[in-house]
Structure 1
Amino acid sequence: MNFKDLSNKTLINDQEIDWEYISDGVKRKIIAYDDHLMLVKVAFEKDAIGAVHNHPHLQMSYVAEGSFEVTMGEDKKILNKGDVFFAPTMVFHGVVCLEDGLLIDIFNPHREDFLR
């Protein structure tokens, strides 16, 4: 299923959505979105990096699997399955995957750049 078919969809089967290659050891699935909210799964292989970056969107990320070293502004902390990080607007953040892992990212508003 193409991610553009997911806009405003209310019942979604994960297995119908293809993974999108992002970089070495990182892939993502846009699961659901509308103009205000977006949910994205991001799978990481051990040692893969989510480069430090910032954006105008609010972001919350739930560690569904694995372990990550998370940088948030000037802080750095190891987060494990069940932990969460919150990236406020324009705060630099990034991750290093310490063991194979999965993040569930929520953005407000949706990431228009992910839809291109």
Structure 2
Amino acid sequence: MSNQANWEQAEPGVKRRIFPPGKSIMMMEVHFEEGAEGYAHSHPHEQLTYCIKGEFEFTIDGEAHILKPGETIFIPSGATHGAKALQAGAIIDTFTPLRDDLLKR
């Protein structure tokens, strides 16, 4: 199976590429321009995010968390969450189960 993925615009200043999934887990790489936001949302999937570079403020159910390179943050199923890039940067998001809403567009 190929590991190639195409870049797409997610929100203003935010682009992502979704990698081919496994049977019950998937991941994507997301790049943010400084000040760009991943808007607040929720989904039934568990999410683990790893910061490659930059600095981010994640808000999870109203609580702010700073994420820096080499750090991870866990987002529970159903939690309302969003992120703002305090510096230009990149993260890896991993989800389980599969996010069919992202895969079947």
State the one-letter code of the partner of 1:33.
Answer: P
How many percent of aligned residue pairs carry the same amino acid? 38
What is the correspondence of 1:1-116 to structure 2 with a 5 Å cutoff?
9=1, 12=3, 16-115=4-103, 116=105
Specify every segment of 5 or more residues in structure 1 that has no aligned partner in the other structure, as ranges. 1-8
Cα distance in structure 1, aligned partners of 2:77 and 2:90: 22
- Tell me how far 1:32 sits from its aligned partner: 2.8
Cα-to-partner distance string for 1:10-64 (whole Å, 9 max, x where unaligned): x52xxx4321111210010012302300010011100000111110001000011
**Aligned residues, how many?**
104
- Structure 1's consecutive aligned runs of 4 or more residues displaced over 6 angstroms after TM superposition are none
SS in 1 for 2:101: helix
Contact 2:25 2:94 in 1 (8 A): yes
Cα distance in structure 2, aligned partners of 1:17 and 1:31: 5
TM-score, L = length of structure 1: 0.84
SS in 1 for 2:19: strand
Q: Which residue of 2 aligns with 1:3?
A: none
Cα distance in structure 2, aligned partners of 1:17 and 1:72: 28
User: Which of these two proteins has the greater Rg computed from alpha carbons?
Assistant: 1
Contact 2:21 2:27 in 1 (8 A): yes
TM-score, L = length of structure 2: 0.92
Specify every segment of 5 or more residues in structure 2 that has no aligned partner in the other structure, as ranges. none
